[in-house]
Chain A
């Protein structure tokens, strides 16, 4: 191996600063959320306590945090499942050109780049005119899908662009129907990427704010609740909530990464069965 050049060390330092820039503030509020009861929004720490976390559990101190957490969780799971199913179907369909595929592709790009507030405003107006009440599980759910589906599809496009078609041809030559090919050949191969799609679907929904603002109705999701708090809560209880949801998101990420890791290990151990077949 050639020796490391000087630019390597400069860039390493730059990268470490970047990581510090990404994580530093979050760690800061993590520390500040353990502020003593008399402490304020910034340093110095006036003692160390769990005071602000206890405060979160008292219903009257802040809004309906636990209700909004439950709603965000449910909505996240709904969006996640829908995103996986619809993205896989869409990804499979887009491998062949069909009439209208170009228009649909540009719609997907539009959904990705359109300012979120337009979705919020438009869906709100639409439901209002149709005489349907906005609700997080209907209009909120649909609005979030306009954000998560394009991401899921982009991942699927990237996956299928790198997909070796000879596996499918082999399956077809051996007499598999197109459903069997998908079920036993394509899906197992793309499974790890699907976990990625699931992770994106869930976390993007769980943290989505702009598209849910006017479409969730009277019952807030968690990000809306937090947004409301930024204007009227001036105690570290805000940090405590921030720390808790960040820890929750991190736990979700770790679980999903764990699944990917287990799946690849499993595959590596059971994989390559060449020569071990019945014949």
Chain B
């Protein structure tokens, strides 16, 4: 029995070798590279290989770092709250209130299509909507809700979170819908026969069974928001910053060692968050 097993391992390795090569060159090596460069030294004119902790010392010594990290978490939590509520509601509607499979697929696709178009364009499209003379302000004025145009609609935390929710809610809808579709409908009937009302069924049957989907969606949304650097730039009009922007600013100033140190800290933070979230779900089982 020894030989087939060796053979199995060999075919397995051969089949994943392209994948392994790509991930090694474009994922593992770059991370190692960033880790190495984060210890290098920057002088006025050049970047020299070294092994010193200046970049990290500077990073942890600067109050900007803490503000920016707090901002990053703030965006992640706010976006998560909105996407989980909207995503759950939409998925629940599609999975339990739409009765024909054709309609389910059609409406699901309707939700998915924007995901396959350009993010940047979708962000820009909020500008005519939220601007000082934009549609939202004109509408509010003509309805008599406000007298003066509201200034905080565009280029503010509001518009940043709005754009995040706009772009990333789909990452919640898909995994939650996926788990909901696999809930055995007889469980719900059993609950109803047992005398549970709609709200009780939702809270005591559907929500617990949907938890894995919610967790996967959460991992997507939280990591995407924490790693973002251009949504915040475009939507805050460069008035607000998160960690991603700190890194991209350093890059544009050619401060690679400093950018790398920040990137490593960001990566560690993201991995810790995922580590915590993964305690609640076994991803491989849920696909």
Q: Which of B93, B125, B198 contacts A29 (CB 8 A)?
A: B125
A249 close to chain B: CB less than 8 A: yes
- Complex Cα distance A32/B124, Å? 12
Contact with A along B104-128 (1 / 0, CB 8 A): 0001011101101111111011111
- Complex Cα distance A278/B14, Å? 38
- Complex Cα distance A122/B219, Å? 23
- Distance from B23 Cβ to chain A, minimum over Cβ atoms (Å): 5
Q: Which of A18, A111, A239 contacts B90 (CB 8 A)?
A: A18
- Are A122 and B19 in contact, with the CB atoms below 8 A? no
B-side contacts of A149, CB under 8 Å: 19, 22-23
A-side contacts of B138, CB under 8 Å: 43
- Complex Cα distance A245/B134, Å? 23
- Complex Cα distance A185/B9, Å? 23
Q: Which of A42, A94, A213 contacts B135 (CB 8 A)?
A: A42
B185 close to chain A: CB less than 8 A: no
Q: Which of A107, A118, A210, A249 contacts B116 (CB 8 A)?
A: A249
B-side contacts of A92, CB under 8 Å: 15
A89 close to chain B: CB less than 8 A: yes
- Which of A5, A21, A117, A249: most chain B CB closer than 10 A? A117
- Distance from B110 Cβ to chain A, minimum over Cβ atoms (Å): 6
A-side contacts of B37, CB under 8 Å: 125
Residue on B with the closest CB to A94? B16
B77 close to chain A: CB less than 8 A: no
Residue on A with the closest CB to B26? A142
Contact with A along B205-234 (1 / 0, CB 8 A): 000000000000001100100111110001
A74 close to chain B: CB less than 8 A: no
A119 close to chain B: CB less than 8 A: yes
- Distance from A222 Cβ to chain B, minimum over Cβ atoms (Å): 8
- Are B16 and A89 in contact, with the CB atoms below 8 A? yes
A-side contacts of B283, CB under 8 Å: 109
- Complex Cα distance A158/B200, Å? 31
Q: Which of A85, A121, A214 contacts B260 (CB 8 A)?
A: A121
- Are B166 and A11 in contact, with the CB atoms below 8 A? no
- Chain B contacts with A in 216-273, Cβ cutoff 8 A: 219-220, 223, 226-230, 234, 244, 247-248, 251, 256, 259-260, 263, 266-267, 270
Residue on A with the closest CB to B114? A22
B-side contacts of A230, CB under 8 Å: 120, 124, 234
The verdict on A29 contacting B256 (CB below 8 Å), with A122-B29, A126-B29 known, is no
Q: Which of B92, B169, B256 contacts A125 (CB 8 A)?
A: B256
Contact with B along A5-48 (1 / 0, CB 8 A): 10110011011001101111110110010000000011100000
- Are B11 and A249 in contact, with the CB atoms below 8 A? no
Q: Which of A107, A223, A250 contacts B120 (CB 8 A)?
A: A223
- Distance from B22 Cβ to chain A, minimum over Cβ atoms (Å): 5
A253 close to chain B: CB less than 8 A: yes
The verdict on A122 contacting B33 (CB below 8 Å), with A41-B131, A115-B270, A246-B117 known, is yes
A276 close to chain B: CB less than 8 A: no
- Distance from A44 Cβ to chain B, minimum over Cβ atoms (Å): 9
- Complex Cα distance A178/B26, Å? 32
- Distance from B12 Cβ to chain A, minimum over Cβ atoms (Å): 3
B-side contacts of A18, CB under 8 Å: 86, 90, 111, 169
- Complex Cα distance A115/B273, Å? 13
- Are B118 and A14 in contact, with the CB atoms below 8 A? no
B-side contacts of A116, CB under 8 Å: 227
- Are A111 and B124 in contact, with the CB atoms below 8 A? no
- Which of B11, B121, B270: most chain A CB closer than 10 A? B121
- Are B244 and A253 in contact, with the CB atoms below 8 A? no
Q: Which of A1, A29, A98, A119 contacts B128 (CB 8 A)?
A: A29
- Are A121 and B124 in contact, with the CB atoms below 8 A? no
Q: Which of A109, A118, A204 contacts B263 (CB 8 A)?
A: A118
- Complex Cα distance A5/B114, Å? 30
- Chain B contacts with A in 2-25, Cβ cutoff 8 A: 8-9, 11-13, 15-16, 18-20, 22-23, 25
Contact with B along A70-110 (1 / 0, CB 8 A): 00000000000010011001101110101111001101111
- Distance from A225 Cβ to chain B, minimum over Cβ atoms (Å): 10
- Complex Cα distance A15/B18, Å? 42
A-side contacts of B256, CB under 8 Å: 121, 125
- Distance from B124 Cβ to chain A, minimum over Cβ atoms (Å): 6
- Distance from B158 Cβ to chain A, minimum over Cβ atoms (Å): 15
Residue on A with the closest CB to B24? A107
- Complex Cα distance A7/B26, Å? 49
The verdict on A143 contacting B15 (CB below 8 Å), with A113-B270, A121-B251 known, is no
CB-CB nearest 4 A-B residue pairs: A122-B30, A115-B227, A98-B12, A25-B125
Contacts A25-B122, A94-B16, A125-B30 known; 7 new A-B pairs at CB < 8 A:
A11-B93, A25-B129, A26-B114, A93-B15, A122-B31, A126-B33, A142-B25
A sample of 7 cross-chain residue pairs with beta-carbon separation below 8 angstroms, ordered by A number, consists of: A11-B89, A93-B16, A113-B227, A117-B244, A125-B37, A143-B26, A209-B120
